[in-house]
Chains A and B, each alone.
Chain A
Amino acid sequence: MQKLTIPLLAISFLLAVGCAPRPKPSAFPQTATVVNPYFSDKSQDYTYRTKIAVYGHELNGILIAKKISDSVHRVVLTTDFGNTLLDFEIGQQSFRKNAIVDDLDRKIIVNTLRDDFRLLFRETYAIPELDGHTGDLEVFAVEGRDHYQISFSGNKLISISKGSRKKEKVSVGFVSTNDKFADTIEIHHRDIKLNIEMRHFAP
C-alpha cells in the first residue's frame, strides 16, 4: 500500500501543480512593474549636450529636462548661446507647446519629438511577473498596438524600444554609471532618418 501511496501522492502533487492555472499575460492583471529612473527626480535639472540629426541636417544645442509634477516633464532645447529653440511640457496623456522657433514648427517634427520625449521620460511599464529574476533581462509590455521591449543589464536599464508587433520603430539606448541619470542617451528611428544623441553634463 505504501508503495502505491508515494507515487500516487507524487503524481497528484505534480498534477495539482501542473493543472494550476498559469497566468496568461493578456488575460490576467499584470503583476510586475519595471521602472525608468533616469528622469524621475523632481529636484534634478537634467542637462544634456544634444545633437539632432535629421535627413542630413544637424542641430546642436543644450537639452534641459525637469520633472515638474507627478505626470509632466518640461523639456527645453536651446542653442549653445542660450536661445530657446523649443519648450514643451509633456505628460503621457498631455502636451503643451510653450515655444518653438519657426524653422522647427512643423507638425511632423513636433509630433515626432513629442513622442520621443514621451518614451524618454516614461517611468513605468506593467509587465508579466518576473519570478524574482534579476540581472540581464529583456521584458515585453503590450499596450494596444504598441509593443515595448525593455532591456536591463546587471539590473540597469539599457534600452527601451517601441514598435508594432512586427517591427521596431524607435529605440532609446541608455548608458549610466550611476542609477540616477543616464550619462549618454541615443534615440534611433528605424522608419525615418532621425537620430538624437545626448551627453550629460553638470553645469
Chain B
Amino acid sequence: MKKISFLLLFFIGFQTFAQQAMSASEIADFKKKVNAASATIKTMTTDFVQYKHMDFLAKDVETSGKMAFKEPNSLAWQYKKPYNYSIVFKSGKIFINDEGKKSQMDAKSNKTFSKINKLIVGSVSGQMFDDKEFAISYYKSAGFDIARFVPKDASLKKYIKQVELSFDKKEGTVEQVRLLESETDYTKIVFKNKILNAKVDDSAFSN
C-alpha cells in the first residue's frame, strides 16, 4: 500500500511537473495554430466519454454519447449511456429531450446559462482566447498543449472554478475538457473518433 501511494504521489508529482508554462513566443504560436485550425472547422462530430470525478467516490461516474457542432453555433450533446438525454443549443434556444420528454428554454433569459453555452461552444471550436470573461494561462505537457480558463465573473465562478482545454499538439483541436469545481473534484470530457468538416445534417440539431 505504501509503495502504491508513493508511486501515486510520484506520478501525480510528475504529472504536475510535466505541465510547464509556455513562453510568450510559444503562446503566440499555439494561439496561431488553434485559430488556424478552428477557422477551418465548419462542422465536427465526435464520440465523447464524460467522467465525473469526486474524491470520495470509489469510481468516476461515467456517461457517454455523441456530440455534433455546426457553424456558427449549433451544438448537440447526446448522452446514450447509461441513459438517453440530449441537449441542443441552437439560435439562442436550448432544446432538451429527456428519455422522450421534450422541453425548451430561452438561453438568453438565463445569463449564467448563456455564459456556459458560450463556453461550451467556445471550447469545442477552440475560439475562446479573446474571451474577456476569463483569465487565460497556457501550459504544455508531453501529450497536449493546455489552456486554462479561470472565470472572472463571480456568479460563473461559483459553478466553474476553472476550465482546462487540452489540445492535440499537431492538429490544434480540443481533445479533452476538464471543468474543475474544487481542488479535487472535476468533470473530464474526452473526445474520441472526431470527424471534422463532414456534412452534418440539420436533423442532428433537432431532438
Contact = CB atoms under 8 A, between A and B. Distances in A.
Do A and B come together as binding partners? yes
A78 interface: yes
Interface pairs A-B: 3 shortest CB-CB: A82-B187, A201-B82, A82-B52
Interface residues of B, number: 27
Interface stretch (B11-19, B60-68, B168-176): B60-68
Interface in B126-171: 155, 158-160
Contact of A82 (B50, B58, B59, B83): B50
Interface of B: 50, 52, 54, 56-63, 77, 79, 82-83, 85, 87, 98, 103, 155, 158-160, 179, 181, 185, 187
A203 B56 contact: no
A139 to B, nearest CB: 33
A43 B50 CA distance: 22
A203 B62 contact: yes
Interface of A: 43-45, 47, 49, 58, 60, 62, 64, 66, 68, 74, 76, 78, 80-84, 101-102, 199, 201-203
A83 B160 contact: yes
B187 A80 contact: no
Given A83-B187, A201-B83, A203-B63, A78 B52 contact: yes
A17 B155 CA distance: 72
Contacts of B179: 81-83
Given A49-B83, A203-B82, A80 B54 contact: no
B159 A45 contact: no
Contacts of A62: 52, 61, 63
B189 to A, nearest CB: 8
B79 A203 contact: no
B181 A84 contact: yes
Contact of A64 (B50, B61, B63, B159): B61
Given A101-B159, A203-B62, A203-B63, A81 B187 contact: yes
A117 B85 CA distance: 25
Given A64-B52, A64-B57, A81-B179, 4 more contacts: A66-B57, A80-B79, A82-B50, A82-B179
Contacts of B58: 43-45, 66
Nearest to A81: B187
Given A60-B98, A80-B87, A82-B187, A45 B50 contact: no
Nearest to A200: B82
A45 B155 CA distance: 30
Given A82-B50, A82-B52, A83-B160, A203 B83 contact: no
A66 B63 CA distance: 19
B57 A45 contact: yes
B82 to A, nearest CB: 4
Contacts of A101: 158-159
Contacts of A81: 50, 77, 179, 187
A45 B187 contact: no
Contacts of A68: 56
A68 B179 CA distance: 25
Contacts of A43: 58
A81 B62 CA distance: 11
Given A49-B83, A203-B59, A203-B62, A76 B54 contact: yes
